[in-house]
Chains A and B, each alone.
Chain A
Amino acid sequence: MSAPAMGTTKTAHSDVAAKKKRGPGALATAYLVIYNVVMTAGWLVIAVGLVRAYLVRGSYHGLYFSIEKPLKFFQTGALLEILHCAVGIVPSSVVLTGFQVLSRVFLTWAVTHSVREVQSEDSVLLFVSAWTITEIIRYSFYTFSLLNHLPYLIKWARYTFFLVLYPMGVTGELLTIYAALPYVQKTGLYSVTLPNKYNFSFDYYTFLILTMVSYIPLFPQLYFHMMRQRKKVLAHVEEYKTE
């Protein structure tokens, strides 16, 4: 699920109890701190860009265009996180991380970028805002965790904001895909028909519909997983608060 990619992984950069893990070496830790700081900064830039554009224009409409480039850059940059898992410096599942990042990248490039007509839709602002707030919290969470100085506020925010941001993001994403459908059907975007010499066909319109349908089983699973994580993580807090 794209929306707040809150890390549906069980451990992520765990701050929960003392876990025995090999963990990244000193060089890897330094790299990861830099990576997470850069990402936090990047999404802050997007946040600021959105606010400034709103103040200048005086309306919520069409704000996508003001942050299009940094959005593409930093969301695509998240592909590195798959590499981090594959190499082992981050203790998360490659498959899970890959799925999350790729679904975000899919929405950014294969839907929003590719179907120009949806770029002025308000649903785009809906998911972009959800992603922005989520990622600022998530990347600062990782940064502080790596430095072993995680303010309770950040931890709380990461495991609480998703309650609203996740449905918000999912709504924005679904509405955007839905808005793209007529244009995809009309232009046959990314579609291949028979006959052709490789005897293959692909209907992007049907693919998008199937993608939307896949949210039905996937979203509740991820949402409830995060809720369970929240109970686990925030329950410990009564015993010890990390400041």
Chain B
Amino acid sequence: MKHYEVEILDAKTKDKLCFLDKVEPNATIGEIKSMFHKSHPQWYAARQSIRLDPKYAGPLLLYLMFYFRVPFIYAPKYDFTTSKHWVVHLACMCHSFHYLKRLLETLFVHRFSHGTMPLRNIFKNCTYYWGFAAWMAYYINHPLYTPPTIYGEQQVRMALIIFLFCQIGNFSIHIALRNLRPPGSKTRKIPYPTKNPFTWIFLLVSCPNYTYELGSWFGFTLMTQCLPVAFFTAVGFIQMTVWAKGKHRSYLKEFRDYPPLRSPILPFVL
């Protein structure tokens, strides 16, 4: 079987801290953390945040390349030009904001994130994110892009509101989930609404982070009126629904007093 070699570097100094050879392709980040823990006992697994930059940095940078019309993408006469449509600038800001937020959350907010994701999946994940980002960005930043025609400016305004609302919502949920579990512990608790109104959706839904994520991309689809974006939203919706149903089922199994009103991802519906 093919084995991977994993080099662990200090995030600030980039010094080589540790070299792990013979890491199996289906090794999880959690297992890598415990392998690292063996040689550096003070860094127990939860204190390690392995930088998974490429997955979210890729879409961030790729989109910008299309936005600035870097050569060899569009016809040479358009190199380094910018779109005349203000919605294209807005879309770039929203897309970039979304992935910047995700990058920062991976670094500072999430606990035990990706601890259970096998290495091989990360390559597949990257392909998915990078591929779709490039596909969407190509059309939105194309010289022949057509801004929303169905309801014009109203549509873009509404879409922006939906997008921002869901970004804040998504962030609120991530914070709420992080606060649910004290650092280093493995306790599992039912998430409940907090003082933050964006978390009140916990009353109706088990995985509101997915609900808000779907909402964000739905907003982005309306904003750009671009079929590839609609595809991306649809595929994400299907995947997140599968995950939400699984999470919902495991909540139900684990907690006898789990609130019966909650649905996995869409209130009352799904």
Measured in the bound complex, the distance between the Cα atoms of B15 and A58 in whole Å is 80
A202 to chain B, nearest CB (A): 10
**B142–A200 contact, CB under 8 A?**
no
Docked Cα-Cα span, A200 to B226, in Å, equals 7
Q: Does A201 contact B (CB under 8 A)?
A: yes
Please tell me if B227 contacts chain A, counting CB pairs below 8 Å.
yes
Which residues of A sit under 8 angstroms from B144, Cβ to Cβ?
194-195
CB contacts (< 8 Å) of A196 on chain B: these are 146
Against A, the Cβ 8 Å flags (1 = close, 0 = not) of B220-231 are 000011111000
**For window 222-245 of chain B, which residues contact chain A by CB distance below 8 Å?**
224-228
A197, B149: Cβ atoms closer than 8 Å: yes
A174-225 at interface with B (beta carbon < 8 Å) = 194-201
A contact residues vs B (CB 8 Å cutoff):
194-201
The answer to whether B142 touches A199, judged by C-beta atoms less than 8 angstroms apart, is yes
B225:A194 contact, CB within 8 angstroms: no
Which residue in chain A gives the minimum CB-CB distance to B142? A194
A-B contact count (CB 8 A): 30
Complex alpha-carbon distance, A197 and B226, angstroms: 8
**Shortest distance in angstroms between B149's beta carbon and chain A's nearest beta carbon?**
5
**9 examples of A-B residue contacts, CB within 8 angstroms:** A195-B145, A197-B149, A199-B139, A199-B140, A199-B142, A199-B145, A199-B224, A199-B226, A200-B139
Given known contacts A197-B149, A199-B225, A199-B227, what 15 new A-B pairs fall within 8 Å (CB)?
A: A194-B142, A194-B144, A194-B145, A195-B144, A195-B145, A197-B150, A199-B139, A199-B142, A199-B145, A199-B146, A199-B224, A199-B226, A200-B139, A200-B226, A201-B139
Residues of B within 8 A of A199 (CB): 139-140, 142, 145-146, 224-228
Please give, as numbers and ranges, the residues of chain B lying within 8 Å of A194 by CB-CB distance. Answer: 139, 142, 144-145
CA distance A195 to B85 in the complex (A): 14
Q: How far is the CA of A200 from the CA of B228 in the complex (A)?
A: 7
Looking at chain B's contact residues, the main secondary structure is loop
Report Cα–Cα, A199/B224, bound state, in Å. 9
Q: How far is the CB of B132 from chain A (nearest CB, A)?
A: 14
Count chain B CB atoms within 10 A of each CB in A195, A199, A201 and give the residue with the most. Answer: A199
* Count of residues in B whose CB is under 8 Å from the partner chain: 13
Smallest CB separation, B129 vs chain A (Å): 20
The residues of A that contact B227 with a CB separation of less than 8 Å are: 198-200
Q: Which residues of A contact B145 (CB under 8 A)?
A: 194-195, 199
CA distance A195 to B146 in the complex (A): 7
Residue of B nearest to A192 (CB): B227
Chain A, Cβ-Cβ closest to B150: A197
Query: Do the beta carbons of A197 and B225 come within 8 Å of each other?
Result: yes
In the bound assembly, the distance between CA atoms of A200 and B229 in angstroms comes to 10
- Expressed in whole angstroms, the Cα–Cα distance for A194 and B145 within the complex equals 8
Considering the complex, which residues of chain B in the window 123-165 have a beta carbon less than 8 Å from any beta carbon of chain A? 139-140, 142, 144-146, 149-150
Please determine whether A198 and B142 come into contact, CB atoms closer than 8 angstroms: no
Kindly report which residue of chain A lies nearest to residue B136, judged by CB atoms.
A199
* Shortest 8 CB-CB contacts between residues of A and residues of B: A200-B227, A194-B144, A195-B144, A199-B226, A198-B227, A199-B139, A197-B149, A195-B146
Query: Smallest distance from the beta carbon of B89 to chain A beta carbons, Å?
Result: 16
- Shortest Cβ distance from A202 into B: residue: B227
- Asked if B146 and A197 make an inter-chain contact with CB atoms under 8 angstroms apart, the answer reads yes
Residues of chain A within 8 A (CB-CB) of B150 are: 197
A197 to B224, alpha carbons, bound, how many Å?
A: 10
**CA of A195 to CA of B147 in the docked complex: distance in angstroms?**
10
